[in-house]
Amino acid sequence: MSSNGYLVQRRSLFGSTENMSVRSKCPGCGASLKISLAHAGKKGKCPGCGKTLKMPSEEQLRQMMARQSSKSGMAVGSTSAVAAAPAKPSPPPQSPAQPPADDLFDDLGSSNFDEDDFDFPDPPAAGTQETVNPYASPLAEYKAELSASNKLVYAGFMSRWGAAIVDGLVLLAISWAIGFSMAFAAAIAGMTQTESGLAVVQLAIQVVAQVAGLLYFALMESSASQATYGKRMAGIKVTDVNGHPISFGRAVARYLAKIVSTLTLMIGYLMAAFTPKKQALHDMMVGTLVVKA
């Protein structure tokens, strides 16, 4: 067979043919190409040169198969028919420069190659195809998250206590700065001259300090670092029960829930030393964890 020739492969069953395909050559690199009717009119990537080949139409493929079938009909017939047939001189060999008359890509010209996306991709390599179970339970995602949460390393009580001391010092410095600034402004305005004015200033300082504390914890625990300055120094962070970052709203709820942990004579904080996931009472209330970063 010449380099530009093709072979019609057939599976014979009681004289009938089916599953026919044409094997041709890539006109660019000469790589062997097996083209079936399923590929008709599509584009495919040549395994040799990687170029995109435009396949012949279904009608062209059927005509090619029919012509080749008629030419090789005697070869697939009975042996007696072959013996009875008169000997025919073999056709003269064709010139190497002239492609066979039935070459698949002979009449496609320059449109044979293009750089467009092809319709059917190469099959994935063995072992790289991801198996997806369409009958998976709706709880599969939840179980995957639960498995991920089991791999979290919970922060110990001492790590949390050390972080709380650092954060307390930070908030103390912020409160002093706020108190000094507000008291200085009130003194200039003459509000500290009377007892009632002084009481108003003190109340305002406490309110602003509490709001500053809430924003300190909520903004930093819902940030990309998921931790305050104290927690960063201790190498811990705040997550939800699945190990995901928490939102600003949940961080605010966590801070407010600390009021309950405080009202229980600090027992709510001590629970972090005994609970299975090292959760304090306010962590259980809002569904958060403190884990190692």
- pLDDT, one tens digit per residue, over 7-60 is 443 333 333 344 566 777 777 777 777 777 777 777 777 777 777 777 777 777
What pLDDT band is residue 264 in, cutting at 50, 70 and 90? very high
pLDDT score for 113: 46
What pLDDT band is residue 74 in, cutting at 50, 70 and 90? very low
pLDDT score for 146: 58
Tokens (6 digits) for 33: 């190409």
In angstroms, rounded to a whole number, what is the distance separating the alpha carbons of residues 119 and 141? 33
Least reliable range by pLDDT among 15-24, 60-69, 91-100, 217-226: 91-100
Query: What is the reported pTM?
Result: 0.51
What pLDDT band is residue 208 in, cutting at 50, 70 and 90? very high
Number of Cβ within a 10 Å radius of residue 258:
19
Question: Does 112 have pLDDT greater than 60?
Answer: no
190-215 mean pLDDT: 90
Tokens (6 digits) for 60: 């062209």
Question: Does 267 have pLDDT greater than 90?
Answer: yes
Closest by CA position to 105, among listed 6, 1, 10:
6
Question: Which carries the bigger pLDDT value, residue 102 or residue 201?
Answer: 201
Least reliable range by pLDDT among 143-147, 252-256, 285-289: 143-147
Judge contact between 241 and 279, C-beta under 8 A.
no
Q: By three-state DSSP, how is residue 20 classified?
A: strand
In angstroms, rounded to a whole number, what is the distance separating the alpha carbons of residues 10 and 262? 84
Average model confidence (pLDDT) for the chain?
75
DSSP 133: -
Judge contact between 100 and 24, C-beta under 8 A.
no
Judge contact between 240 and 247, C-beta under 8 A.
no
pLDDT score for 109: 44
